[in-house]
Structure 1
Amino acid sequence: MTKPLSEMSLEELWQLFPIILKKHKTEYKEWYWEQKKNLLAALPEKYIERINHIGSTAVSGLLSKPTVDILLEISRKAGLTKVEAELKNAGWTLMHRNEKDQEINLVFNKGYTPHGFADKVFHLHLRYLKDWDELYFRDYLIAHSKIAEAYGELKKL
C-alpha cells in the first residue's frame, strides 16, 4: 500500500519527485492556458489582479523541469483564507506558505501523486500584486535567446 504524500519523509519525497531537466515542450503554453482558464473559473474576478506563465517552461526552447509555473497575483482586498479554500476546491494542494511584512507567498501544486508525477505538473505561486523579478527574468530570457541558452547549460551543472 502506498503512503499518503503527507506521511512521507523528505528522502521518500525526493525519490518519488526527483529534479529532472527536459527539453522544452511547445505544449507547456497550452497547459498554462488551460490552468489559467480554470483559475479564472475557480476564483471571483475581483480577487484576480494578474496571471502569468513564469519559470523556464515560459521560455521557448529553454531546458526546464517539466513543471509549468504560474504566478497568480491577487488583490490585497481578497480574503486570503477564501482564495486558499477555492484553490484547494479546484484541485490545488498547498505546498508552502510564507507570510511576512504584509506580503504573501503561497505555493500550490497539481500533478504530484503517491506514484510520482502525473503527465502534467504545475506550481502555482500566489502573491499580492507587485513587480516580481520572475516576470522580468522571463521577459529578459525571451528577448535574449543566447543568454537563455547559456542559462539552460548552467542548469545542467
Structure 2
Amino acid sequence: MIAFLKHKEEAVSREIIDVQKPAYVKEAELIGFDGIPALHEKAEDIRASQEQFAGYREDGKLLGVISYEKFMHELTICRLVVHPDGFRKGIGRALVQFVIDQNEDAEKIEVVTAEKNSPAVSLYTQAGFVKTKTVKASEGLFLSVFHLYPKRKVEVVHYNEEWARLFREEKDRLKLVLGPEIIDVHHVGSTSIPNMAAKPVIDILIAVKDIAAVNQYDSKMAELGYMPKGENGMIGRRYFQKGGNKRTHHVHIYEGGHPAIERHLVFRDYLTAHPEIANEYASLKKQLAAQYPDNIKPYIQGKNDWIKAAEEKAKRWKKGRNNANGRVVCYNSENEKNGGFTL
C-alpha cells in the first residue's frame, strides 16, 4: 500500500532512515562511490526537509520511499529508495507511478541518478523518462538527468452552465492584476457557446492598450496560478495557462485592433447563432477525443481543417450581417455559389 508520509513526525522520520540507509549502501557498492550525500542523512535531516514524502508498506513495514519537490507545474523527484527486503517486487516503479498519478497537472518531471546505477536507469526508462544529459558530479561519478513530459488527457464533456460563472469570477481576478491595461475582456472558445460540448477549459480573451506592457505582470499572473508562455507561436499575443496538464484556464492577450480578437469573437458568435453547426463541431471533438484520449496534439490537428472552414463561413456571415446598403442579408452555407449570402 502506498500513502503520503508525515515525515515531520519523529517515528516516521526514523522509519524513512531505516529504509534509506541500507538502500544507499547498496547503491554506493553498485556505483563504486560512497560520497552520496543522502547516505549520511539522519532522522532530523528528514524532519527538516521541505520535500513531499510517500511510502510503500507491506504488512505494516515501510519498504520503499519516494520524495519530491514541486514548483508550479514542474516536479523534481529528490529520492527513491527501496529496502533490500523489497528488491525485485516492483516497489520503485509503483512509487514513481504514484507520484505521477498524484500530480496530474505536472508538465515536466525530472529525476537524476548515477549513470552506473543500472537498476534505476532501467526503472526510469521503462516508466517513460528520457535521458537528456550526463553531468560529471565528481571524479569518477557521472549523473544521468531524466525528464518525463506527461501527456495531457483529452476530455470533452457536456456543456456546463457553471462555465459562464467561472469566466465571470476569473475576469474579476484578472482585472485586479491587469486593470490599468485592459480595454475589454471576453469569454471565447467552446465553453462560451451555449450547449456546446467542450474540454472544460475557460478561454479568456483580453484586449489591452499596449501589448508590451503586459510583460511586467508575469509575476502577478503567476501568483494567480498562471504560467506565462510569451507569444507561444502567435505574433503579438501574450499567452498564459493555468492548471498545467490538468488545464483549467487559458488567457489570450492582444493589443486592441489585433485581427485575432475579431477572429475569436466572430467564430464564437457564428456558432452561437447556428446551433446545428455547433453540434457538428461538438461531434467532431467527441470523435477525436475518443480516438486520441491521451494525446492532445493529434486531437488539435484533427480539428484544424474544420475550424479554418468554419472561420471563413463566419467571416462571410458577419459581412452579410453588416451589409452597408441596409438590406436584410443572412448567410446560407448551402448557397456557396453566390458567396454564401441569401438576399
Deviations 1:75-125 (A, max 9, x none): 12762321333322333112453477xx5222212223xxx627xx11111
Match of 1:140 among 264, 270, 281: 270
The equivalent residue for 1:56 is 190
C-alpha RMSD of the superposition: 2.5
The equivalent residue for 1:108 is 240
**Measured at CA, do residues 58 and 77 of structure 1 come closer, stay the same or move farther in structure 2, by a change above 3 Å?**
closer
Deviation at 1:46, TM superposition (A): 2.9
Distance 1:64 1:150 in 2: 12
Distance 2:216 2:180 in 1: 13
Instruction: Report the identity percentage.
Output: 25
SS in 1 for 2:270: helix
Ranges in structure 2 where 5+ consecutive residues have no aligned partner: 1-66, 69-73, 76-105, 110-128, 130-146, 289-343
The equivalent residue for 2:108 is 7
Amino acid of the structure 2 residue aligned with 1:48:
I
The equivalent residue for 2:169 is 34
- TM-score, normalised to structure 1's length? 0.80
SS in 1 for 2:236: strand
**Measured at CA, do residues 83 and 74 of structure 1 come closer, stay the same or move farther in structure 2, by a change above 3 Å?**
farther
Question: For the pair shown, which has the larger CA radius of gyration, 1 or 2?
Answer: 2
Deviations 1:110-152 (A, max 9, x none): 223xxx627xx11111211224211100011111111111111
Match of 2:206 among 58, 67, 72: 72
Establish whether residue 20 from structure 1 lines up as the match of residue 155 from structure 2: yes
Match of 2:255 among 113, 128, 137: 128
Match of 1:149 among 251, 267, 279: 279
Larger strand fraction of residues = 1
8 Å Cα contact 2:207/2:255 also seen in 1 = yes
Amino acid of the structure 1 residue aligned with 2:281:
Y
Ranges in structure 1 where 5+ consecutive residues have no aligned partner: none
8 Å Cα contact 1:47/1:78 also seen in 2 = no
- TM-score, normalised to structure 2's length? 0.39
Deviates more, 1:2-11 or 1:134-143: 2-11
Establish whether residue 94 from structure 1 lines up as the match of residue 228 from structure 2: yes
4+ residue segments displaced more than 2 Å: 5-13, 83-86, 88-91, 95-100
Deviations 1:34-71 (A, max 9, x none): 0000011122x330011100000000111110101001
8 Å Cα contact 1:52/1:72 also seen in 2 = yes
**Measured at CA, do residues 11 and 137 of structure 1 come closer, stay the same or move farther in structure 2, by a change above 3 Å?**
farther
Aligned length: 147
Distance 1:95 1:22 in 2: 26
